[in-house]
Chain A
Amino acid sequence: MSSGMIFGLTGLAIFTIGLFGALVMVEPLRRVLALKLCSVGGGFMLVVAAWRAPPEVADPVPHALVITGIVVMISATAVALALIRRLHTLEHDSDD
């Protein structure tokens, strides 16, 4: 057992929990969070791939990739949330 192993399995678990949520959940916000969980799981896998047992230093390339992934994910989240707000407004207005 090492930190890499522990967090690698954690990341996989988080990814599959997110996958489950994305498949099953119906509430818009919760689906977005489920996808966010998937992305954190993917991030874990790359961070673990970069990890070396100390005192070795970690591989910087996957770190850069995960930072890119985080920025990409906030962009996608913002667009999804904007769609959710818009859809709510449209449906709300039609009810009146």
Chain B
Amino acid sequence: MADPLLIFDALLGVALIALAIAVLVVRDRFAMIVLFIIFGLMTALAWVRLSAPDVALAEAAIGTGLAGALMLKTLHHIRAAPAAPVPVSVGVVFANMGFCAMVFVGLAIAFMATSLEAPGLAPQVAQNIDASGVAHPVTAVLLNFRAYDTLMEVVVLLAAIIAVWMIERGIEQAPARHLGEIYRGFARLALPAIVVIGTYLLWVGAYAPGGAFQGGAALAAVGLLLLLSGLYRPQPAHRPIARLGFVLGIAVFASVALLVASGGRLPFEYPPAHAKTLILLIEGVVTISIAVTLAALFHGREPEAIPVSETRA
């Protein structure tokens, strides 16, 4: 136990648990979201400690940054609602507390009884990485070995944006200025920088931590800034382009997967000579789709012509 890094880990773990509890018990809802964002960033730190920089990057950018922005936007929208609609009886709270404590103890016993040294798939990944077309193992898993999962994950994003557009039809959007005007000068300075960062993250994913999702998140931040600063206002006429942007990644990804199968190969079996090119192509279009979709998820409502009755308000 003399290792100072282990002590740091233990302190970080305790802080994470404390923050998780604080998120649930703090009364003020704004503070709740801020605590959650701090929790997310410290989670990313813990994952760096567990030698998972790719995951930490994705969690910080998407799981914390974008999720936090979405939560704040929603809080702004529902601020008129009472913070706690119905109080929960103490008995229910304690019963659930006891139940969850039992779940924790059971899972912890199972976890402690398991060795952390199972072989895993790392040897197989290392063995096949030369044939995959990319040098960075996580990217190889995402875009080659388990490409089907990744395709379906972009499908989940598509399902989400379709559902969100459907759900929020006909809702009057809260005017953007209440959300806090971001100084336009800052936006103009920051935008090119973020574009560069996003593209860099995408490019670097081939051999170092980074890749389509992190790059897409950074580019989505561009979209957020454009929306918040009012530099870009979604118009009904932009809908067809937006729709194309949402499906572009899946369409190209799925077509490549099927087209390689036409030459006597299996679906997703990229010809080794072209694997790198195909994966870069797929990553590029998927990054664009992820960025557009994430920004649109933040914006929420489908841009549509405002009916006359609503323009009055």
- Asked whether the complex places CB atoms of A and B closer than 8 A, the reply is yes
Which A residues lie at the B interface, using CB under 8 A?
1-10, 12-21, 23-30, 32-34, 36-37, 39-40, 43-44, 47-54, 57-68, 70-79, 81-86, 88-89, 92
Stretch at the interface among B103-111, B176-184, B194-202, B275-283: B103-111
CB distance from B253 to the nearest CB of A (A): 14
Q: Establish whether residues B213 and A49, one from each chain, have CB atoms under 8 Å apart when the complex forms.
A: no
> How many residues of B sit at the interface, in one of the four size bands?
35 or more
CB distance from A91 to the nearest CB of B (A): 8
Can you list 5 residue pairs at the A/B interface with Cβ under 8 Å?
A: A17-B20, A57-B51, A61-B122, A67-B54, A75-B159
**Of B23, B63, B167, which is within 8 A of A74 by CB?**
B63
Known: A23-B96, A82-B163, A85-B77. Is A7-B13 also a contact (CB below 8 A)?
yes
Which A residues touch B66, using CB under 8 A?
A: 74
Which B residues touch A8, using CB under 8 A?
A: 111, 116
Q: Establish whether residues A60 and B125, one from each chain, have CB atoms under 8 Å apart when the complex forms.
A: yes
Q: Establish whether residues A13 and B17, one from each chain, have CB atoms under 8 Å apart when the complex forms.
A: yes
Which A residues touch B266, using CB under 8 A?
A: none
Which A residues touch B157, using CB under 8 A?
A: 71, 75
B32, CB-defined interface residue at 8 Å: yes
Which B residues touch A21, using CB under 8 A?
A: 23-24
Q: Establish whether residues A79 and B74, one from each chain, have CB atoms under 8 Å apart when the complex forms.
A: no
Known: A23-B96, A26-B88, A61-B141. Is A14-B153 also a contact (CB below 8 A)?
no
Which A residues touch B140, using CB under 8 A?
A: 60
Known: A19-B103, A82-B300. Is A77-B171 also a contact (CB below 8 A)?
no
Q: Establish whether residues B93 and A24, one from each chain, have CB atoms under 8 Å apart when the complex forms.
A: yes
Which B residues touch A23, using CB under 8 A?
A: 96, 99-100
B239, CB-defined interface residue at 8 Å: no
Closest 10 CB pairs of A and B: A75-B160, A60-B137, A10-B13, A64-B141, A59-B120, A78-B297, A16-B104, A59-B122, A20-B100, A88-B78
Specify the main secondary structure of chain A where it touches its partner.
helix
Give A50 to B51 CA distance when docked, in angstroms: 9
Q: Establish whether residues A74 and B49, one from each chain, have CB atoms under 8 Å apart when the complex forms.
A: no
Known: A13-B17, A33-B32, A61-B146. Is A26-B85 also a contact (CB below 8 A)?
yes
Which A residues touch B70, using CB under 8 A?
A: 74, 77-78, 81
Which A residues touch B237, using CB under 8 A?
A: none
Of the candidates B13, B75, B104, B157, the one having the most CB atoms from chain A within 10 angstroms of its own CB is: B13
B9, CB-defined interface residue at 8 Å: yes
**Known contacts A63-B141, A74-B294; 20 further A-B pairs (Cβ under 8 A):** A2-B116, A10-B12, A13-B17, A15-B107, A17-B100, A24-B92, A29-B75, A40-B39, A43-B59, A50-B120, A51-B50, A57-B51, A58-B51, A59-B122, A61-B145, A68-B142, A68-B153, A82-B300, A85-B300, A86-B168
Which B residues touch A81, using CB under 8 A?
A: 70-71, 73-74
**Of A9, A24, A33, A61, which is within 8 A of B71 by CB?**
A33
CB distance from A85 to the nearest CB of B (A): 5
Q: Establish whether residues B146 and A64, one from each chain, have CB atoms under 8 Å apart when the complex forms.
A: yes
B10, CB-defined interface residue at 8 Å: yes
Q: Establish whether residues B116 and A30, one from each chain, have CB atoms under 8 Å apart when the complex forms.
A: no
CB distance from A59 to the nearest CB of B (A): 4
